[in-house]
Amino acid sequence: MTTPSPLLSRPGAVEATGADAGVASHYGEPLREQRALAAGTAVVDLSHRGVVTVSGPDRLTWLNTLSSQQVTGLQPGESSELLLLSVQGRIEFDARVVDDGGTTWLIVEAAEAAPLAEWLNKMKFMLRVEVTDVSADWAVLASTKAVEEWSALLAWRDPWPHVGAGGYSYAVVPEEGHPGLERPWIEYLVPAAELEETVADRPLAGVMAAEALRIAAWRPRLGAETDDKTIPHELDLLRTAVHLSKGCYKGQETIARVHNLGHPPRRLVFLQLDGSQHTMPAPGSQVMLGERKVGTVTSVAQHYEMGPVALAVIKRSVAPDEMLTVLDGEEPYIAAQEVIVAPDAGQVVGRQTGFLRGTR
């Protein structure tokens, strides 16, 4: 169970629920907080996040053999993202990765730290690595702009939406037009005992604000956009978390087969919801095309400029120009879709035309 953050004692703090329990959903003014976070003047308490460390001289080569990402040459302070997959290529763990020259730090969702540490420890064999769940001792703070006073802290800079080395974009929009560019994202590792001192009197934004900016940036989140069948192609995660030319790892066969010869069965989509209603649909609501269910809403937020927005995972076969309806119980919401993952994603062998852009 996550220990509640001491920052919940700040004026106006309302604790979040679900995956973000233990930190503030907001501090009384969600939209104002969101504007401040987008402008880089507020920071977010993510001290509920899980933190796992991997130390020892074999740590990077070992993680490289296990994961979807090429991390052997990861330099101190350099940020990356890796996936640990099932044999079927389904996402089991999604970790934010930064190395300090002696230890590799993995920042994960709160519920993932203990299972990740347990799984990694089972995979050590005779290698010189040490895996530790340090979630109780370390906290995470996030901002959209570098905080000068925190320059000595180890920081993970989200590579999204840039297409990394060995990566591949499944998006229709070119990288220079991707909405994720409007959300630079930095997560700082802070000793838990120094959390309040580190924040000091800086303005705080709740996770409600952070989620709205994440959704607008089309950034998938483990546990929200994923289920037990999700493969990376469906969420455009080949751009930041997969290296298509690296050596063998569990799940690689599915990654290569779908990318080269097939199509992912589902695709991530951004939904602009009808803002005339005074409510918003809940995550898990059905996405309908006429009378037919074609997907599920995964994340929802009130954006300070766009109004109600959502991410959803829908069937690949749904045409990009279809107007959809989100159904929450008996309440319908008209939804206009913006394509994130192209309907023709995958099957790149022999491809000479189309929206998709390849490795670098």
- Binding site per annotation, positions: 187
For residues 282 and 333, what is the distance between their CA atoms, to the nearest angstrom?
Answer: 11
CA-to-CA separations, 80 to 155, 169, 262, in angstroms, rounded: 11, 16, 27
CB 289 within 8 A of CB 298: no
Side chain identity at residue 159, one-letter code: P
Peptide bond into 161 cis (omega under 30): yes
Distance, in Å, from the CA atom of 107 to the CA atom of 64, rounded to the nearest integer, reads 17
Residue 331 Cα distances to 275, 279, 325, 334, angstroms? 13, 9, 10, 10
Q: Are 307 and 273 in contact (CB under 8 A)?
A: yes
What string of DSSP letters covers 57-77?
Answer: TTHHHHHHHHSSS--TTPPTT
Token pair listed for 11:
């004026």
CB neighbour list of residue 180: distance below 8 Å, 6 or more residues apart = 160, 161, 217, 218, 219
Q: Which residues are annotated as a binding site for substrate?
A: 187
Read off the amino acid at residue 168: Y
Q: Is 237 helix (H, G, I), strand (E, B) or coil?
A: helix
Question: Whats the size of the chain, residue-wise?
Answer: 360
Report the number of secondary-structure helices (H) and strands (E) in the chain: 6, 18
Could you tell me which of 142, 187, 188, 156 has the C-alpha nearest to residue 44?
142
> Could you tell me the two tokens for 242?
């997969």
Residue 318 sits at φ, ψ, to 5 deg, of: -70, 125
